[in-house]
Amino acid sequence: MVDLSLLLRILSNAIPIMLSAYGELLVERSGRVNLGVDGIMALGASISVLVSAITGNTMLGLISGLATGLAASILYIIPVIVFRVDQVATGLLLVFLAWGLADLIASIGYRVSPSIPIGSLQYNILALITVIIPLILWLLMYKTWIGVEIRAIGYNEILARERGLRVDTIRAIMLLIGGALAGLSGSYMALTLYNGKYFTGITGGWGWLAIGSVILGYWHPVGVAVAAYSIGLILTLRPYLEAMGLGPLSISTPYIMVILSLIIAAYISRSPRFKPPRIL
């Protein structure tokens, strides 16, 4: 007998991971990896709380989170796409930068804003979007020529450039979308999961779990959706595991899961039929 409310609770935890993961999926399919996702989420969270508190409107809060993510991704796009700076370094730097800025902005005024409770209209819209996006992504990547172009860039950048594919443009667009989704994800976390509060470390490292989901889902939209949901499952079960006395092991389960998915993905990628995009 499956408990629907449990499934929904898992979903509410999985939503931020799924949103960020979809964005990162697009980015990685185009051959880049944005390690800054966790930071963008934090920044989105911080600013959305601020905007919600000032305007009293949580919808504006969500939108501002999305916009923040869009703007933050520019801090990645300019160094990496334009100036060819190392993407790993830029991504990590972005995380630290964004964490610090998020805290700095929050220090202006900690105001508990109106929140988005589970079951409200905005929540339902978000939940619906989260489920529909993988279908849209699947159609895009496998049924349109743009999708072929995106995948081609991800498989072989050098050849893609020679052939005249729009490598930089497409990557920039993917990064913008990824940033927007990460920002949205962060604002969801603040406004829904934490009832309209922002605090240092609000993301709990969930941005990294989103990146892990992309790998666990083996870069396929439906796979990523399932993977992110599973991680949501583990996160929801975490307090139960803790109560069972597993101590630090229970807290670490999601991170261990990411490590496991790295191993599994590496194993699968040895077979030529299942080629992953070349990210690094």
Partner 1 sequence: MRTKILEAVNITVIYPNGVRANDNISISVNEGEILGLLGENGAGKTTLVKVISGIIKPTKGEILLYGKEVEFNSYRDALKSGIYYLSQNPQLIEGLTVLEDIGLTLTLAGKSMSRGSIEQYVASIASKYNLKVDLKALSDNLSVGERQRIELIKPILLDSKIIILDEPTTHMSPLEIESLYSMLRDLAGKGKSIIFITHKIREATSVSDRIIVMRKGKISGIIERDKFDREVLLNLMFESNNTINKLGLRYAKPREYKSNILEVRELWVKGDYGDLALRGINLSVGTSEIVGVAGIAGNGQRELFETLVGLRKPIRGSIIFNNVDVTSSSPRDRIKLGLAIVPEDRLGWALVPGLNIVSNIIFALTNVDSTLKSYIIDWGMAWRIAKEALEIVPIQADSLNTSVESLSGGNMQRLILARELSRKPRLIIAMNPTSGLDYVTSINVKQVLIDYASRGVGILLISEDLDELIEVSDRVLVMNRGAIVGEFMRPYSLENIAKLMIS
Partner 2 sequence: MEVLEKRATRGEIILKALIGALTGYIIAIILASIILNPSDVLRSVLWVYMNTTPITTAILFSIPIAASALGLTLAYRAKFITIGAEGQVILGSAVTLWFIAYSGINLQLPYSILLAIILASILGALCSLIVALLRIYAGANEILSSLMLNFIAMYTVNYLIATSWRIGPFTITKSIPEEYRLSVSFIIATLIVLTLLTWFILARTRFGLSIEVYGRAPRAAETYGYSPKTIIIGVSIISGLMAGLGGALAMLSFQHHLTPMSSPPGYGYMGVLVAWLSANNPIIAMVASIFFSTIVVLGRTLQAIGVPLSYVLAIQSMIVLSTLVAVATAKYTIRFRWFKW
Q: Which residues bind partner 1 (CB under 8 A)?
A: 145-146, 148-149, 151-152, 154-156, 159-160, 162-166, 272-273, 275, 277
| Choices 48-56, 115-123, 177-185, 255-263 (CB under 8 A): range interacting with partner 2 | 255-263
Residue 14 vs 257, nearer CB to partner 2: 257
Rounded Cα distance between 263 and 80, Å, is: 27
Provide φ and ψ at 31, rounded to 5°. Answer: 95, 15
267 part of the interface to partner 2, by CB under 8 A: yes
94 part of the interface to partner 2, by CB under 8 A: yes
Please count the CA atoms within 13 angstroms of the CA of 35 that sit on its side-chain side: 15
Q: How many CB atoms lie within 10 A of CB 26?
A: 26
Choose which of 136, 200, 239, 274 interacts with partner 2 (CB under 8 A). Answer: 200
Provide φ and ψ at 36, rounded to 5°. Answer: -85, 5
Q: Residue 150 CA to chain centroid, in angstroms?
A: 19
169: tokens are: 């443009």
Q: Are 185 and 231 in contact (CB under 8 A)?
A: no
Q: Are 66 and 187 in contact (CB under 8 A)?
A: yes
164 part of the interface to partner 2, by CB under 8 A: no
Choose which of 19, 101, 193, 233 interacts with partner 2 (CB under 8 A). Answer: 101
**What is the crossing angle of helices 248-268 and 221-241, to 10°?**
160
| Choices 95-103, 136-144, 174-182, 188-196 (CB under 8 A): range interacting with partner 2 | 95-103
Q: How far is the CB of 124 from partner 2 (least distance, A)?
A: 32
Choose which of 205, 222, 274, 278 interacts with partner 2 (CB under 8 A). Answer: 205
Helix, coil or strand: residue 243: helix
**Residues at the contact surface with partner 2, assessed by CB under 8 A:** 35, 75, 78-79, 82-86, 88-90, 92-94, 96-101, 103-108, 166, 168-169, 199-201, 205, 208, 211-212, 215, 247-248, 251-252, 255-256, 258-259, 262-263, 266-267, 269-270, 280
